Amino acid sequence: SAADSQAFSLAVIPGDGIGPEVIAEAVKVLRAAVAGGAAGFELAEHKLGAEHWLATGETLPDETLARLRAHNAILFGAVGAAPGDARIPSGLIEREMLLKLRFSLDHYVNLRPAKLFQGVPSPLASPGEVDFVVVREGTEGPYVGNGGALREGTPHEIATEVSINTAHGVERVVRGAFRRARARRRKLTLVHKHTVLVHAGHLWRRTVEAVGQEFPDVAVDYLHIDAATIFMVTDPARFDVIVTDNLFGDIITDLAAAVTGGIGLAASGNINMDRTAPSMFEPVHGPAPDIAGQQKAAPTAAILSVALMLDHLGLAEAAARVQEAVEKDIAGRGTAARATAEIGDAIASLL
């Protein structure tokens, strides 16, 4: 195909903690996946994160942002300070780097596949087939920083955190979710709490109904967030594509990672579906300073993020091969502890 003869420029942000270790394996697997093919990748490493801030005082300078913008995609490890590290203001890296990146590059779809692979122990009594994706809205909801505190520090303090839901923002993420569903098992579940969060909930419901007219082949279901958490544990096979807002999505995707074998396997994409800026692919886990530098981190989530990236770039065949190599590796070796590089080598050699 046309995409197969393309040259891609990829920004790589290893970040902090185990970030550089898992990204090294992800890059190894990417190279193996495209070796001998017509698609070429040129990689440019960008230093960002807590360590970089300590060294330079920079979180995400506009000039770095501009350079990131020029790439076709971003592969990201993890950033953040070790808990209790008094040298770094709490939340600084999250707000001034991660959120700035997400808002500037308009990553309005946070995509998180949840699949229980053969060979992975599940905490569920009878997991059945678990294979769904969560499409979480990424730029609105209560995470936009719209709020404040009145009478702060007094017994009469009033703290507000306003959830923003725009017709434009909801519609584009809902349409993205319907498209995903059409490419999968054609079932979409909206997760919200419209009986209590009336205004936002009704906008989401009306939008799903309206956009659903364009996708008559996709079955639509609705669940309250609390019911959805129950079904994710008791009957996860009922889900194909879940669409939900930023806050509910944050919570339910961690649950989804837990029922499919844990955070070492959970991949994600922060996607700009209009392709007006590069999308970013990253493991769901954080920098995990407790195991950093010891070759103890599982690079699998980062490697599965490479598969998501290849798929987004139109290299579906290479994406499927990475996914299959990971599944084969896990089916053969289970989730027993292996060195980070050993897992990367095994998956690369399967390719």
DSSP for 187-253, please give it: EEEEEE-TTTSHHHHHHHHHHHHHHHTT-TTSEEEEEEHHHHHHHHHH-GGG-SEEEE-HHHHHHHH
x/- map, 66-105, ligand ATP, by CB under 6 A:
--------------x-------------------------
Question: Catalytic amino acids?
Answer: 143, 193, 226, 250, 254
- φ, ψ (nearest 5 deg) of residue 11: -85, 135
Q: Does residue 60 touch ligand ATP according to CB under 6 A?
A: no
Which pair of structure tokens corresponds to residue 308?
């998501």
Q: Of these, 267, 297, 319, 322, which contacts ligand ATP (CB under 6 A)?
A: 297
Residue 136 assigned to a binding site = yes
Residue 250 assigned to a binding site = yes
Q: Find the helix packing angle between 316-333 and 340-350, rounded to 10°.
A: 120
Residue 226 assigned to a binding site = yes
Strand partners, 283: 267
Q: Of these, 121, 290, 324, 331, which contacts ligand ATP (CB under 6 A)?
A: 290
> Could you tell me the smallest distance in angstroms from the CB atom of residue 293 to ligand ATP?
13
Q: Of these, 44, 263, 339, 350, which contacts ligand ATP (CB under 6 A)?
A: 263
CA torsion sign for 227, 230, 232, 234 is negative
Residue 321 assigned to a binding site = no
Tell me the CA distances in angstroms from 62 to 68, 104, 196, 304, one per residue in order: 10, 10, 40, 30
> Could you tell me the smallest distance in angstroms from the CB atom of residue 255 to ligand ATP?
14
Strands 187-192 and 241-244, how do they pair?
parallel
Q: Does residue 291 touch ligand ATP according to CB under 6 A?
A: yes
Residue 235 assigned to a binding site = no
Q: Does residue 285 touch ligand ATP according to CB under 6 A?
A: yes
Q: Of these, 23, 134, 298, 304, which contacts ligand ATP (CB under 6 A)?
A: 298
Nearest residue to the partner ligand ATP, using Cβ: 286
